[in-house]
Amino acid sequence: MSRKPGNISRIFTNLKNSFFVAKQNNKYIGSDQFGNEYYEIIGDSNRNVRGQRYIKERTGASSHDIPDVPVEWDAWLRGRRKNPPTEEEIQRNYVKMMQKKMRAEQLENKYSGEKIEEGSEPNVLTETIVSNNPKTSFPKYEEFEDTPGQKYNKEGNKIS
């Protein structure tokens, strides 16, 4: 019967593997209209390496600039979607975005004149509101104490 490898052999194996970094399998996935390139590192369950997705910014971009990442690619990078976006999907979403901007501009132009007219006549109440009931102090009842323990002495007997 063969034995399982011991702890010492496992330690030496891990030490040996730590000196030799496994070559990462970087797979080019695609690029966007801004020039950013998207890559994926394929995970390896034998080496207990999880897959990763990352972005290489466009060349010439400053390191202080935040990269412009389309929503579709951002969702893929963060793992919210399994497959990367296609060019058709990106174009379709871009057209929808531009239509929404145009509609917002039209609504802004349509209602901008009405807001100016409403602003000329304020409909704000300027008079103070006066209550009909005068302010009264908090009610006091004989059966309740003002201070807890007021009706009892130190021995716990009731004071009359």
Model confidence at 52: pLDDT above 70: yes
Taking the alpha carbons at both ends of the chain, their separation in whole angstroms is 94
pLDDT at 3: 72
Instruction: Work out the burial of residue 61: count CB atoms within 10 Å of its CB; fewer than 13 is exposed, 13-18 middle, 19 or more buried.
Output: middle
Cβ atoms of residues 40 and 78 within 8 Å: no
Q: Which two tokens stand for residue 26?
A: 């970087």
pLDDT at 122: 56
Cβ atoms of residues 74 and 32 within 8 Å: no
Dihedral sign, CA of 45, 47, 52, 57? negative
Judged by average pLDDT, the poorest of 21-30, 51-60, 110-119 is 110-119
Q: Pick the more confident residue, 107 or 4.
A: 107
Residues in the chain: 160
pLDDT at 115: 55
Q: For residues 70-89, give the mean pLDDT.
A: 93
pTM: 0.50
The pairing of strands 37-41 and 52-56 is antiparallel
Nearest of 88, 5, 83 to residue 38 by alpha carbon: 83
| pLDDT 10s digits, 107-122 | 999 888 765 555 555 5
| pLDDT 10s digits, 81-109 | 999 999 999 899 999 999 999 999 999 99
CA–CA dist 160, 142 (Å, integer)? 13
Q: What is the mean pLDDT of the chain?
A: 82
